[in-house]
Amino acid sequence: MSNTKLRAAILIVSETAAKDPSTDECGSILQKAFESDGGDQWDVAATEIVPDNALDIQRTITQWTDSGEWMNLIVTSGGTGFAVKDITPETPAPVAVKLPVDANLIGSVVAEDVKAAEFVPAFRASIVDGYAVVVSEDAPSAKGVFPVPFFSHAQAGDIPELHPGQVARITTGAPLPPGATAVVMVEDTILTSKIEEGDEEKEIEILTDAIRPGENVREIGSDVKAGDVILKRGEGITAVGGEFGLLASTGTREVHVFKRPVVGVLSTGDEIVQYDRPGELRIGEVRDTNRPILLTLVRESGYEAVDLGVASDKPGALEESLRAAMRKVDVIITSGGVSMGELDLLKPTIERSLGGTIHFGRVAMKPGKPTTYATIPFKNNAGDREIRTIFSLPGNPASAVVTFHLFVLPSLQQASGISPVGLPRVKVVLDQDFHLDLHRAEYHRALVVMKRDGLLYANSTGAQRSSMIGSFKGANALLCLPAGNETLTRGDKVDALMMGKLYPVVNKILVSGRS
Ligand code: AMP
Ligand code: MG
């Protein structure tokens, strides 16, 4: 039944084929692929050929995504090469860089498999405090009294050879003396005599006869062998400690990771003053709330943040600020100037003054409707053509924070090789009723806690007006509320995106605070 099939559209991006469609071979090949390999599930509902022109590509794709007759899948062909005209994939791909192994690596993703350069442990080491002994399969440890001619401590240096019939005191992590084959733990021994001039033992008695070769010994390379792959491409280096610990313990000095974008944060608006400016505000002045929060969010998310200050709403000022920013950073976050007022200059500046492409400029969501995403072509100091990404977030602080989490963070993560991207999504039980917005999906600031039944429960943090940054106080999640004309009631389940840590509620006392 054709009306239940999925709808696909094919977009051919080619200067030549746009002039003469008979030169195009891709369209028919893709069409056939849908027919022969699509499991009879696909209907190619539209095919278009456009030249390598951002506006044409954009217009065609938005017609296929935003009209009532939207497509399930859009396949584009062409425009993916390296010519100046080739612009279809605008989002920069992750780039690998070689970095020294230090704490700055935390948050990076490994771009090439890392092999251990050394064995861990590098020598045969004792697992316990005790006495090194010489035993073999045929002759396990014998009970009896043995002389203790020397000690092996956990320190560098030569150790004498241990002969059968002798034992050597050994501490946890210390190297086994040459000749020793196992360690008897101190709990299985008794001190029988001390040397005259001190506390150290002269002889000890071994109480067990069950110690076999290799017992209580970490063999060379038993944790990690030289040449083992210790980290794979795509794995993240976390602050939990395992990855960084592996690099440190194997003496790895450098590692290829995906470059994390450097992010600039710019506020816009003639009314915006430095948040810590002393003195009272004059009428109309607003303290810059977005820039300090966004800088913190960027840094807390693991990216270098550059403070780009405040740009005035005067023509030319914004363009100048953005041009300067493109030389300093990979990604620019602005806030304000994207609503519908005459001083809202961001979109015209990006498109007309900077030759950028606005990929989207309005989003059906609450808050965050004016959120804008664009790319701007840019020539670096070496004259190479690069792309700068710009997120123009709404000016209202709560909207700026919500849209940072929903749009900017996943993009930064994608650029630095992190997968999957975005805030962790969990199912939560509503602990109160929620009225839905008729037209727009809402991202509602909420506190999600785990109760004694092990389930996650969500409560609103209060009034959600987009100017009220205080609605984030105490919030650790954004509830994903669909658009609709009903009310979700207590006990209903929805998705929540976790921005912060999860805390348990024990006997109605909220255990909170941040570590
Ligand atoms: P706009 O889209 O520029 O008209 O901004 C929308 C609202 O957000 C206005 O009330 C602005 O004053 C306010 N706003 C814009 N930028 C900031 C900022 N950095 N800090 C606090 N409020 C801001
Ligand atoms: Mg403004």
- Per-residue confidence (pLDDT) for residue 80, from 0 to 100: 58
CATH number of 6-78: 3.40.980.10
For position 65, what pLDDT does the model report? 82
From 298, 261, 328, select the one nearest 108 (Cα to Cα): 261
CATH of domain 125-218: 2.170.190.11
Query: Ligand 1 atom closest to Cα of 335?
Result: 16
**Residue 26: which H helix or E strand, with range?**
helix 26-37
- Please state, in angstroms and rounded to a whole number, the distance separating the CA atoms of residues 337 and 340: 8
* pTM of the entire predicted model: 0.79
CATH of 96-116+227-258, one of 3.40.50.12160, 3.90.1150.170, 3.90.105.10, 3.10.129.10: 3.90.105.10
Residue 289 CA: nearest ligand 1 atom is 20
Q: How far apart are CA 239 and CA 245, in angstroms?
A: 10
What's the rounded Cα separation, in Å, for the pair 336 and 196? 83
Select 425-498's CATH number: 3.30.420.40, 3.40.720.10, 2.30.42.10, 2.40.340.10.
Answer: 2.40.340.10
Q: Where are the domains of the chain?
A: 6-78, 96-116+227-258, 125-218, 262-416, 425-498
Q: What is the pLDDT of residue 515?
A: 40
- Upper half-sphere CA count for residue 274 (Cβ side, 13 Å): 7
Q: What is the mean pLDDT of each run of 10 residues along the chain (515 residues)?
A: 78 89 90 90 92 79 81 83 48 86 96 96 96 88 88 87 93 95 96 84 92 95 96 95 96 97 97 97 98 98 97 92 96 94 89 93 95 94 91 97 98 94 97 96 97 95 91 96 96 98 69 50
Predicted pLDDT at 511: 57
Name residues contacting ligand 1 (CB within 6 A). 267, 269, 271-272, 286, 288-291, 335-339, 341, 344, 394-397
Q: Which ligand is nearest to the CA of 312?
A: 2
Give the position, in ligand 1's atom list, of the atom nearest the Cα of 271.
12
Contact 196, 231 (CB under 8 A): no
User: CA nearest 49: which of 72, 65, 25, 69?
Assistant: 25
Domains 125-218 and 262-416 fall in the same CATH topology: no
Proximal ligand: closest to the CA of 401: 1
Distances (CA, A) of 181 to 189, 201, 319: 17, 21, 74
DSSP-derived secondary structure letter, 353: I
Look at domain 262-416 and name its CATH class: alpha beta
